[in-house]
Amino acid sequence: MSAYRAPLQDMQFILHEVQGAESLFASMPGTEELGRDLMDAVLESAAKISEEVLAPVNRSGDEEGCRLEDGKVYTPKGFKEAYKEFAQGGWVGLSGDVDFGGQGMPKVLAVLFEEMVMAANSSFALYPILSAGASLALARHASEELKQEYLPKLYSGQWSGTMCLTEPHAGTDLGIIKTRALAQEDGSYKITGTKIFITGGDHDLSENIIHLVLAKLPDAPDGAKGISLFVVPRQLCDEGGQAVIDNQVSCGAIEHKMGIKGSSTCVMNFDGAQGFIVGEPNKGLQYMFTMMNYERLSIGLQGLGLANNSYQVASAYARERVQGRAATGMHNPDAVADPIIVHPDVRRMLLSVRADVEAGRALAVYAASQLDLAHFHADEVVRSRAAKLVAFLTPVAKASFSDKGFEGCVLAQQVLGGHGYVREWGLEQNVRDARIAQIYEGTNGIQALDLAGRKMVKDREGLLACLAMEIDEYVDARKDDAALSAYIEALQAALSSLQDISVWIKTAAEHKPDEVGAASVPYLRVVSLVLYTFMWARMVEAAQRGIALGEGDMQFYDAKIKTAQFFLRKKLPELQSLVAEIKGGSEVLMALDAEQF
């Protein structure tokens, strides 16, 4: 068995040697003081709290779960103490607005931090990550008065936040929500309705819980255009600023789930609760997408982190567990058998997990860097291009990280055989915890439909063209680099296939509307393979540079290049089968009558 250890060496390699974070931040106002020493100190501190505070209560939290007693939700033993230490360390407000008590750290650090906490304890991680997302929505869209009242306490962890969207009859189709808001004479609103699947809807970690609630005004337009966003605290403050007044917000039930059992998933009832509108009426869904897009990247990191956690356990097990002999002869003549790491199929499983995790981590940092450019950079042209890349990358990151993360947890479990199926090794919990990441914050099928439909077929901003330009610029600058040629050629071919199949889908959809939905999931996987190829090219380039300089860990660089070769020969060929699947068309999916299912 292995305790979780944050992959600091790989994180620092991606941050500094691949992404060039020091140069990135030196070029932007607001981030100039972020040198390598400070960034590494943040990551090292994040690793310490993840390994020493969060990981130790992960399994016990899963076994105990949350409980609802007398209308109040209680988290597992040890969570309150862990949350107190987490909040006191300033981690809730890591990337928060400095004007209201946040630390203002860029997203590239936040994604690495979030991967660590998700890997160490996904159930716990959801509480502060929801608070960070709620804070971001308020910082971007709320009035100055609401910011002053709520942001400092959210950043400090004294209060926590949620997002309340889903209703019993309305999930993805939020335009049909029934929760209503009635204006009051004092400028507030009376909120009435029921929301379900609310992560952290009630708990005992913070003094107050601030719900961001989607609701409709009486005269609102039909559909999604009539949704407004409201701040609804669990308790209102008295004249002394203490949150002690009941606000008619209650938890009706908690869900009993497959995984993330230490996270309270609640049915929340708003029975005429007092709320305060965020921004303008009927723009709530637009505002909420600020939070949802933040959470989608975070939830992708849940899959990524758990897959890395599982890989650590499985790789250690494979080096120690003896079973059978290597096909090439005995590797361990002094023992009755060789360690299972000698067997090609065990290596296939481990390398599959490793290749996806390392490419996913690099892509997370790359996407985060675009978020930072879109937010901090002084040049509007740079900000605009980065925002386009973020729009295209967000559904890919959420779906790809969580799909491949779950697959990685299952493969790692398979390496352990029967030991992977029992609780002792922790992998069965990882499989259960990782499964939800494919479902919440917009199912991965919805992410794929968003990518293929809205951001490719109906694209008016040139999102795919922007990504293609980014890759073309990278390729053009390195086309004469013989050491990198295999990766450059593979990247060019992959991008060409993506562009060709995009045209095919657009053309087919002109006459057959179902083609978009039929193609969407394999299309997202094509895009993810192109992006992973891009990331592996960048990582190989950095590793080759490190070897040429003769500085750093040569074994680390060598392993990076060998893992890249595995990806190129064993993972990337899947792209052509996905293209063939897309060209198989929609007819076979729609041929059966509904009654025939």
Calpha distance 57→419 (Å, rounded): 21
Write out 527-572 in H/E/C secondary structure: HHHHHHHHHHHHHHHHHHHHHHHCCCCHHHHHHHHHHHHHHHHHHC
The answer to whether 412 touches 349, Cβ cutoff 8 Å, is: yes
Q: Whose CA is closest to 165, among 401, 440, 425?
A: 440
Mark whether 551 is an active-site residue: no
Q: What is the pLDDT of residue 241?
A: 84
Name the token pair of 282.
Answer: 């009927």
352-398-387 Cα angle (round to 5): 120
Q: Is residue 214 classed as helix, strand or coil in its secondary structure? A: strand
C-alpha 318: how far from its chain's center? 28
Buried (b) or exposed (e) across 491-517, using 16+ Cβ within 10 A?
beebbebbeebbeebbebbeeeeebbb
Q: State the CB neighbour count (10 A cutoff) for residue 478.
A: 17
The number of folded domains in the chain is: 1
Q: How many CB atoms lie within 10 A of CB 331?
A: 14
- 332: Cβ contacts below 8 Å, ≥ 6 apart: 322, 338, 339
Residue 501 lies in a domain: yes
447 vs 207: CA distance, rounded Å: 35
H/E stretch holding 150 reads helix 144-156
Nearest residue to 531 via CA among 428, 412, 433, 398: 398
Q: Is 123 contained in some domain?
A: no
Q: Is residue 210 part of a domain?
A: no
Yes or no: say if 326 and 427 are a contact pair by the CB < 8 Å rule. no
Catalytic one among 441, 489, 581, 587?
Answer: 441
Classify residue 111: in a domain, yes or no.
Answer: no
Range of the domain at 576: 448-587
| Domain annotation covers residue 487 | yes
Q: Which two tokens stand for residue 122?
A: 């996904």
SS3 letters across 244-301: EEECCEEEEEECCCCCCCCCCEEEEEEEEEEEEECCCCCCHHHHHHHHHHHHHHHHHH
In-domain check, residue 519: yes
Report d(CA 16, CA 380) in Å as an integer. 25
Give the tokens for residue 55.
């990981």
Tens of pLDDT, residue by residue, the chain (597 residues) = 458 999 999 999 999 999 999 999 998 888 888 999 999 999 999 999 999 999 999 999 999 999 999 999 999 999 999 999 999 999 999 999 999 999 999 999 999 999 999 999 999 999 999 999 999 999 999 999 999 999 999 999 999 999 999 999 988 888 899 999 999 999 999 999 999 999 999 999 999 999 999 999 999 999 999 999 999 999 999 888 888 899 999 999 999 999 999 999 999 999 999 999 999 999 999 998 888 877 889 999 999 999 999 999 999 999 999 999 999 988 988 889 999 999 999 999 999 999 999 999 999 999 999 999 998 999 999 999 999 999 999 999 999 999 999 999 999 999 999 999 999 999 999 999 999 999 999 999 999 999 999 999 999 999 999 999 999 999 999 999 999 999 999 999 999 999 999 999 999 999 999 999 999 999 999 999 999 999 999 999 999 999 999 989 999 999 999 999 999 999 999 999 999 999 999 999 999 999 999
Domain presence at residue 291: no
289 occurs within a structural domain: no
- pLDDT score, position 2: 55
